[in-house]
């Protein structure tokens, strides 16, 4: 063979090794588009206010009524905002505790991904979704720290695709797991608004989260998401790595908190007599023990079973208590809390604007107009699909599982009773479909973006690719199971 032919073959081999597949090229194209055109997440909230205002005018509402109802509702979601912020804080303090961060390091160092950046991204996606079934707040922080750890050791890993993989829990399966606000609300009478309870009664978790259909949907979505994450990740030659963002993550803030040996360091010893209790575990042991006992008693003695006691407040209390006990010393726990606060900034400032949208919808004729339309255009055969589509579209403007369910639930559940559609599955249709717009709307990305020091536009191209694949799968499963599940009368 001539030297000329040998050179041609070498070039072909090189191109073959560096050329990405169709899905990866599509992902790169979407990533390039989003980096150029995608706005900040707060813009979505402002656009949502304007869109709902214009919609209200089109159906006959007055500008004054819309503005007044929106302004009156600006602060109505403050308790819920605090609950959402505490989910992030609780997830962070647990994820950065010594024992849990040790797990993150072990997960990041699995041998089969050490030299395969695309496998590493699929691995991140898998753990993001598995942890989101426990807590979406834990998922964001666990996955974000996993990306940071792996970006230090795995060369050629695309930082954008890895960040998108870390977000998949919020965009795929979180609402099908234990942090589903809608399912938890409908399973606990004390949390259901009285007017809604009069329509639906209680819907236990055995009819929502713990059904065969829901578990099967979780398995399918995890499998598909991991596969897409792997196939869409660019090869090392085309990757935009953490170095490309001029980032070199300094994990000292985490390792200072999580290093189990740092108690011997001078910096971890009290410098003044007044600091002694900050470094001594006695108060953590006592107060954490009190809270642990309370939770144990609550879950073991609830007359309706432990799942009935698992509401959002107790859920957050569990994570705060576990975080306290895992960090062991008040100084470490407070340091972890202070480091988590920046990740809650987007939630705190944006939720009031989503509350404004909520007020415009429920305080004017928009709510009734939508309810009447929904009942009029739906049948038993089409109902489940229409609920899925509607929930996904509304989720673009109100990216909150709990508050959006309060808006939808009265007319959605009333229509499902009229059409004899399983009420528990309607809740799960909502849960599955309302997660889809999370892949487009960057609101819930905020804690992860803060941890990774990037913008939504850097990862949304890959999340939109996942959304394109997820939409037909989710809509089909919601429709198919809704058509075949038997109707169960409301329990009051």
Confidence of residue 257 (pLDDT cuts 50, 70, 90): very low
User: With the C-alpha atoms ordered 295, 298, 301, 307, is the resulting torsion angle positive or negative?
Assistant: negative
Looking at residues 66-91, what average pLDDT do you find? 84
Give the position of tokens 């395969």. Answer: 116
Find where tokens 């259901």 sit: 192
First to last CA, the chain: 84
Mean pLDDT score, 24-31: 74
- The more confident residue out of 54 and 312 is 54
Across residues 193-204, what is the average pLDDT?
A: 84
Which is more confident, 403 or 440? 440
pTM over 0.85: no
> Exposed/middle/buried for 293, CB within 10 Å: 0-12, 13-18, 19+?
exposed
Q: pLDDT tens digit string along 405-425?
A: 877 887 788 888 888 899 999
Where residue 48 falls (left for φ over 0; alpha for ψ -120 to 50; beta otherwise) is: alpha
Whether 256 has a pLDDT exceeding 50, the answer reads no
pLDDT at 120 > cutoff 70:
yes
The rounded mean pLDDT for the chain is: 82
Whether residue 309 contacts residue 299, with contact meaning beta carbons closer than 8 Å, is answered with yes
Cα separation of 188 and 204, whole Å? 8
**How large is the angle between the packed helices 78-95 and 345-362, nearest 10 degrees?**
150
Q: Tell me if 320 sits within 8 A of 86, measured CB to CB.
A: yes
Give the three-state DSSP class for 107.
helix
pLDDT at 98: 86
User: Per-residue pLDDT for 173 more than 90?
Assistant: yes
């Amino acid at each position: 063979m001539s030297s000329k032919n040998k050179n041609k073959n070498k070039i072909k081999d090189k191109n073959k090794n560096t050329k990405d597949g169709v899905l990866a090229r599509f992902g790169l194209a979407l990533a390039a588009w989003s980096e150029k055109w995608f706005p900040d997440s707060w813009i979505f909230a402002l656009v949502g206010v304007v869109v709902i205002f214009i919609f209200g005018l089109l159906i006959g509402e007055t500008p004054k009524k819309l503005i007044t109802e929106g302004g009156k509702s600006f602060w109505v979601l403050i308790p819920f905002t605090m609950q959402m912020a505490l989910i992030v804080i609780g997830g962070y303090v647990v994820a950065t505790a010594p024992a849990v961060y040790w797990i993150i390091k072990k997960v990041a160092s699995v041998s089969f991904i050490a030299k395969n950046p695309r496998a590493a991204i699929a691995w991140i996606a898998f753990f993001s979704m598995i942890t989101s079934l426990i807590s979406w707040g834990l998922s964001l922080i666990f996955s974000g720290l996993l990306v940071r750890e792996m970006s230090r050791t795995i060369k050629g890993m695309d930082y954008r695709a890895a960040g998108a993989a870390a977000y998949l829990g919020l965009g795929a399966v979180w609402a099908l797991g234990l942090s589903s606000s809608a399912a938890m609300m409908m399973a606990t009478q004390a949390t259901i608004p009285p007017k809604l309870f009069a329509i639906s009664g209680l819907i236990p978790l055995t009819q929502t989260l713990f059904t065969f259909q829901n578990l099967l949907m979780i398995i399918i979505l995890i499998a598909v998401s991991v596969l897409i994450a792997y196939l869409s990740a660019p090869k090392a030659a085309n990757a935009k790595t953490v170095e490309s963002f001029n980032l070199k993550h300094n994990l000292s803030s985490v390792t200072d908190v999580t290093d189990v040996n740092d108690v011997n360091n001078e910096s971890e010893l009290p410098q003044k007599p007044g600091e002694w209790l900050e470094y001594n575990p006695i108060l953590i042991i006592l107060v954490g023990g009190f809270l642990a006992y309370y939770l144990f008693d609550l879950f073991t003695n609830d007359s309706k079973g432990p799942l009935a006691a698992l509401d959002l407040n107790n859920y957050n209390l569990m994570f705060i208590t576990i975080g306290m006990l895992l960090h062991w010393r008040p100084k470490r726990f407070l340091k972890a809390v202070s480091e988590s606060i920046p990740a809650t900034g987007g939630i705190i400032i944006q939720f009031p604007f989503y509350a404004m949208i909520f007020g415009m919808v429920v305080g004017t004729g928009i709510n009734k107009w939508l309810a009447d339309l929904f009942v009029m255009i739906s049948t038993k055969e089409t109902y489940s699909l229409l609920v899925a589509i509607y929930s996904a579209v509304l989720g673009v403007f109100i990216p909150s599982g709990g508050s959006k369910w309060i808006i939808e639930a009265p007319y959605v559940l009333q229509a499902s009773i009229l059409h004899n559609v399983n009420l528990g599955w309607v809740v799960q249709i909502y849960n599955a479909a309302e997660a889809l717009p999370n892949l487009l709307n960057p609101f819930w990305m905020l804690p992860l973006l803060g941890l990774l020091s990037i913008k939504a536009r850097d990862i949304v191209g890959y999340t939109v690719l996942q959304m394109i694949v997820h939409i037909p799968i989710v809509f089909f499963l919601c429709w198919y199971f809704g058509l075949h599940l038997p109707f169960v009368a409301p329990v009051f």
